[in-house]
Amino acid sequence: MNNQELNENMYDVAVELLSKNHSLNYRTKGMSMYPTLRPGDKAIVEKCEAGKCKRGDIVVFRQDNKLICHRIIKSDFRWGELSILTKGDNCRKADKPFTSDSLLGIVRVFERDGKQRSFDDNRHRISKFIYQNLPKSGLIYNRMHQLASRVFSSVTSLKRNFPMVIQNSEKLFWINAIISVLQGIFPFITLILIKFLIDVLTKQNESLNIWLLLTATAASYIFTAILNELKTYYFEKISQSVSKNIYQKLHQRHGTLPLSHYENPEQQDKIHRAVQEASYRPLKIVNAVLNGIKSVSSSAILLFLFVFIRWYLIFILIAAVLPGMISRIYFSQKNYRLKKDQSQREREMYYYNRILTGIPFAKELKLFSFMHYFLNRFRKVQNRLFEERLGLRRLEMRFGIASQIFAVILIFVSLAVVAFLSLNGMLSIGTLVMFFFAFQRGYSVLNEFFRAFTQIAEDNIFLQDFSEFIENEKFEKNIQPTESFILTKGISIRNLNFSYVNSTREALHNINLEIPAGQSVALVGANGSGKTTLIKLLCGFYQAGSGQILFDNKNANDIGQEGICRNISAVFQDFALYNIPAIENLYLGDFSKEFNEEKAREAAKTAGVDEVLSNLAQGYKTMLGNLFKGGEELSVGQWQKIAIARAIYRDAPLLLFDEPSSALDATSEQEILAKLREFSRGKTTIIISHRLSSVQWADKICVLDKGTIVEEGTHEQLIEQRGKYYQLYSASKSNGSK
């Protein structure tokens, strides 16, 4: 039995078995009951009366149809009923008390690694003793253990992720590291020189040459200043190099991301975090690692100084910074959890911001005056996000103040020790001055060290997300392509079913369609009948739930999305607008070959946009759109013609047109559709158009309804059938859309 969902029957059987003095095995999950029980242990559960259970006992009880294994921290009689308060060791909040009825039994023995262990060995006795007598310290022990394991896992995942950050910048990293080491050492060398200078001046040391000391001190100051300048320059260099590398990885990853990822909210959260964090986290982590290196070198020389003065003072110094470090590690985890929880709301806020500030929404925003609606939504989400963040900062501030006060007290204790030693003539004035400065610097060095350390731990959690996004194979749904095709035979769609990941409905159901090479098929049907979905599947953007798509008898899955798209030219309903020069807008259609201007102009002519482009200020070289200086904005219809020209320029064997004329006026539409018909002659073509009269020429017309092909044939055959197509056609005629 384990802690999965239970039904009444199973529970009753378990109770029955226990009442007959049988025992049950319970497989633990999570971090439950550390250090006594660990994940995967098999706990042997025996019957136990609720009234006889003591604090520290580990019991199994039922909560919301699950079996939970927890340790008792308190038993209470409330309103005449026994109420037992328990706590899972890794549980952050106190669990709900459970009643005696929900108690299944007690754990006295368990199995780990195939060996039976009882709670009688010393380790478990101690753990039970701690819980029975010092429940708070038991929890502290567990917290410390969790903290240590977090630190350990941070270090191991940093070892894995850091090389990815500094890839191609390794040399720069080492230059920065050497500068950091020197920066860590030199302030202390200056301090030592000043100590000797004071000793010479106060005549406590007469063996050293004052001029030599003065020159060395000045040189040390100059060198420190040079190091600072070098650091600024080389850090900028590594920052740029790391940024280039990270953005390259990010953009390459986006290029290979399946389309379904952009439609799944969870994946969108991941993408959002990766994109957002990519701009600064990697640099922060490089900075933190360099600061860590600097403070390690400072600490080494500091250790030497303290051994020279009084060795035990170093422990006071470490004790002073320890609480601050613990609280930072603790809060770094909390920060991450908060950020993760907030991902969706953050995206929501950015979305409202885009509506309130983006050009595509500006017209409707003014026309319908719904600015306040989105303003309110934006503010609501923003307030919630900010309040949550502030709440955490407040808590962090309280912990911070407490640890700083603790540190100051310890610093004064050590100052008192040194003052006492000096008053008794046990330390020279130079050493005293050196100590004051060394202690002050030492405090900030150690603080910096732990800050760097916790910063690394914090950034590393985010980096983990990023590297998962960049490298994780589990995202890769596309199988490595093993086949290619040039479409000489045709396309076969067999028993195809498909549902979107975020939907339970079938968008396509049992589609069977044969498209011989060189023939044209028109897909018609009401909105939402599955036409675009079929086109997207043909592009390889999604994989079929079941059934097959075959290009020249080769399975689409074996060809892969890239391989399929190489042979496709398409115009989508939601075509994109690129704010780049007109000529390059066409060239985007076939980047794999040298640019052919003649072919581009020909494509523009076929799409009916040649005249528009030629008449722009700088002709085909004019920047399109109004995002950048010198750009010229076009109408939506003209943009659509450019999208068509781009597809024509590509000149692939398979043409897919999804409402290619939706934004065109009636005359342009007729013209373009006629030209597309001409252009697609001899090429395999699939076209979707709401204007049924313009696709009559197709060799085959398929009528889709609720994801299924309900009719297929030529225009004449379908009209004769007097079915769905006839209805659609008659309706479009009476609407005057002919």
Q: Which residues bind ligand ADP (CB under 6 A)?
A: 263, 500, 502-503, 507, 525, 527-533
In the complex, minimum distance from the CB of residue 361 to ligand ADP, in angstroms, rounded to a whole number: 21
Report d(CA 575, CA 581) in Å as an integer.
17
Report d(CA 467, CA 158) in Å as an integer.
11
Q: Which residue, 153 or 732, has its beta carbon nearer to ligand ADP? A: 732
The answer to whether 596 and 651 are in contact (CB under 8 A) is: no
In the complex, minimum distance from the CB of residue 706 to ligand ADP, in angstroms, rounded to a whole number: 8
Q: Which residue, 347 or 531, has its beta carbon nearer to ligand ADP? A: 531
In the complex, minimum distance from the CB of residue 343 to ligand ADP, in angstroms, rounded to a whole number: 20
The answer to whether 715 and 699 are in contact (CB under 8 A) is: no
Report d(CA 685, CA 703) in Å as an integer.
16
Q: Which residues contact 329 (CB under 8 A, 6 or more apart)?
A: 147, 150, 151, 454, 457
Q: Which residue, 73 or 507, has its beta carbon nearer to ligand ADP? A: 507
In the complex, minimum distance from the CB of residue 606 to ligand ADP, in angstroms, rounded to a whole number: 25
In the complex, minimum distance from the CB of residue 478 to ligand ADP, in angstroms, rounded to a whole number: 18
In the complex, minimum distance from the CB of residue 527 to ligand ADP, in angstroms, rounded to a whole number: 4
* Sign of the Cα pseudo-torsion (54, 55, 56, 60, in order): positive
518: left (phi over 0), alpha (psi -120 to 50) or beta: left
CB atoms within 10 A of CB 357: 10
Q: Which residue, 281 or 531, has its beta carbon nearer to ligand ADP? A: 531
Q: Which residue, 610 or 658, has its beta carbon nearer to ligand ADP? A: 658
Q: Which residue, 525 or 581, has its beta carbon nearer to ligand ADP? A: 525
In the complex, minimum distance from the CB of residue 532 to ligand ADP, in angstroms, rounded to a whole number: 3
DSSP 413-429: HHHHHHHHHHHTT-S-H
Q: Which residue, 130 or 523, has its beta carbon nearer to ligand ADP? A: 523
In the complex, minimum distance from the CB of residue 511 to ligand ADP, in angstroms, rounded to a whole number: 12
In the complex, minimum distance from the CB of residue 500 to ligand ADP, in angstroms, rounded to a whole number: 3
Strand, helix or coil for residue 548: strand
The answer to whether 299 and 445 are in contact (CB under 8 A) is: yes
3-state secondary structure 257-293: CCHHHHHCHHHHHHHHHHHHHHCCHHHHHHHHHHHHH
Lookup result for tokens 């049992």: 510
The two tokens of residue 620 are 């085909």
Q: Which residue, 56 or 525, has its beta carbon nearer to ligand ADP? A: 525
In the complex, minimum distance from the CB of residue 526 to ligand ADP, in angstroms, rounded to a whole number: 7
Q: Which residue, 207 or 527, has its beta carbon nearer to ligand ADP? A: 527
Strand partners, 705: 708
Q: Which residue, 302 or 687, has its beta carbon nearer to ligand ADP? A: 687
DSSP 707: T
713: left (phi over 0), alpha (psi -120 to 50) or beta: left
In the complex, minimum distance from the CB of residue 273 to ligand ADP, in angstroms, rounded to a whole number: 22
Report d(CA 181, CA 293) in Å as an integer.
6
Type of residue numbered 62: R
The answer to whether 45 and 23 are in contact (CB under 8 A) is: yes
DSSP 674-690: HHHHHHTTTSEEEEE-S
Q: Which residue, 266 or 387, has its beta carbon nearer to ligand ADP? A: 266
Q: Which residue, 102 or 532, has its beta carbon nearer to ligand ADP? A: 532
In the complex, minimum distance from the CB of residue 711 to ligand ADP, in angstroms, rounded to a whole number: 15
Strand, helix or coil for residue 355: helix
Type of residue numbered 79: W
Q: Say if strands 520-525 and 700-705 run parallel, antiparallel, or are unpaired.
A: parallel
Lookup result for tokens 């020209």: 645
